Amino acid sequence: MCLQNADLVKDDETLEDLQISNLQLIQKKDGFRFGIDAVLLSDFAKDIRAEKMLDMCTGSGIIPVLMTAKTNIPEIFGMEIQEEIFDTAKRTLELNNLCQRVHFECGDIKNAVEIYGKRQFDLITCNPPYMPAGTAVKNELDTKIIARHEVMCTLEDVISVGAMLVKQHGHLVLVHKPSRLADIICLMREHKIEPKRIRFIHKQVGAEPSLVLVDGAYLGGHELRILPPLYIFDETGEETPELKRIYGR
- Amino acid symbol at 244: K
In this structure, of 11-25, 156-170, 226-240, the range with the lowest mean pLDDT score is: 11-25
Distance CA 243, CA 248 (A): 8
- Percentages helix, strand, coil for the chain (3-state, rounded to 5) are 35, 30, 40
Q: Taking residues 53-61, what's their average pLDDT?
A: 96
Mean pLDDT score of the chain, rounded to an integer? 90
pLDDT at 4 over 80: no
Between 165 and 1, the more confident residue is 165
Residue 144 has pLDDT above 70, yes or no: no
Per-residue pLDDT tens digits for 78-96: 999 999 999 999 999 999 9
- Structural domains in the chain plus CATH codes: 5-247 (3.40.50.150)
pLDDT at 149 over 60: no
Say whether pLDDT at 2 is over 50. no
The pTM is what? 0.90
- Which alpha helices (H) appear in 11-150, and where do they start and end? 36-45, 62-70, 83-95, 112-116, 142-148
117: left (phi over 0), alpha (psi -120 to 50) or beta: left
Residue 214: name the closest of 63, 41, 51, 75 by CA. Answer: 41
Name the E strands within the chain. 13-17, 24-28, 52-56, 75-80, 102-106, 121-126, 166-176, 193-202, 209-218, 225-226, 230-231
Average pLDDT of the segment spanning 175-186:
96
**Radius of gyration for the chain, computed over Cα atoms and rounded to the nearest angstrom:** 17
Sign of CA dihedral 239, 241, 246, 247: positive
pLDDT higher than 80, residue 53 = yes
Report the run of H or E that residue 7 belongs to, with start and end: helix 5-8
- Supply φ then ψ for residue 47, to 5 degrees: -90, 0
- Residue 68, CA distances (Å) to 96, 205, 234 in order: 10, 32, 30
